[in-house]
Amino acid sequence: MGKIISFANQKGGVGKTTSAVNIAASLGVLGYNTLLVDLDPQGNATSGVGIAKKGLQYTIKDVLLNDCKASDAIIKTEFEKLSLIPSNMSLAGTEFDLLEEDTPEPWAVMRNAFQPIKDEFDYIIVDCPPSLGMLTMNSLSASDGVVIPMQCEFYALEGLSQLMITISKIKSHYNSQLTVTGILLTMYANRLLLTQQVKNELKKHYAGKLFDTQISRGVKLSEAPGFGMPVYYHDKRGKGTNEYLAVANELATRI
């Protein structure tokens, strides 16, 4: 049975979507049948793998509101072993819809919807919205693990503490199988003193959770979404490509 992994951080602009897209694509390159789920109303993961957000027959909203089966919403991308359940701005009000429909367990809708397709994939990567609302709660409740992308800055440390508390509560009340698969440092600038200070602080408290590889800033990595493709297909021998392949390899050994 496949593993569901949420990419979550309530702080925006930390490389969460970039990491979800590129790790999902890297897992595909490594031979794993992978499904990328765009759970962010902005739909950046959808456009990041070359799928237009307009004119979609089904999106993750339809899956969550039981308007279609999860299998009906899956789109095969042009990339190796990578499929997608897309998203667009229609998802924006779904958190309220889940609560207003008097669903007995609104936090478990995604878990129930994904059960029939888990066997079809080795990994299901979920790009969560930058918030700790009902959508993220659904993803964490359905997941086997969570990857936390974050920048090396002190505000990020505060946000990490809050997220860890949320993960602990969901583990206690809704999903006893949930674990923190890893903390991924993004937009990494090794020469900055602040970077080293934050990294050292993380090592004190989360030493076993840090991925061995950090994701550096890079022009090609920033360019790739504009071409609608993961960085592997935009710059096959680039630094960003090699870093994400290394993280994907490590992820596969962790979960």
> From residue 129, how far is each of 36, 114, 135, 138, 208 by CA, in Å?
14, 18, 7, 11, 26
Q: How many CB atoms are located within 10 Å of the residue 115 CB?
A: 12
pLDDT in tens, 137-152: 999 999 999 999 998 8
For residues 117-137, give the mean pLDDT.
95
Domain borders along the chain are 3-254
What's the whole-model pTM score?
0.95
Dist. CA 179–CA 147, nearest whole Å: 9
CATH number attached to the domain at 3-254 = 3.40.50.300
Dist. CA 113–CA 44, nearest whole Å: 22
pLDDT in tens, 207-245: 889 999 999 989 999 999 999 999 999 999 999 999 999
Dist. CA 152–CA 39, nearest whole Å: 25
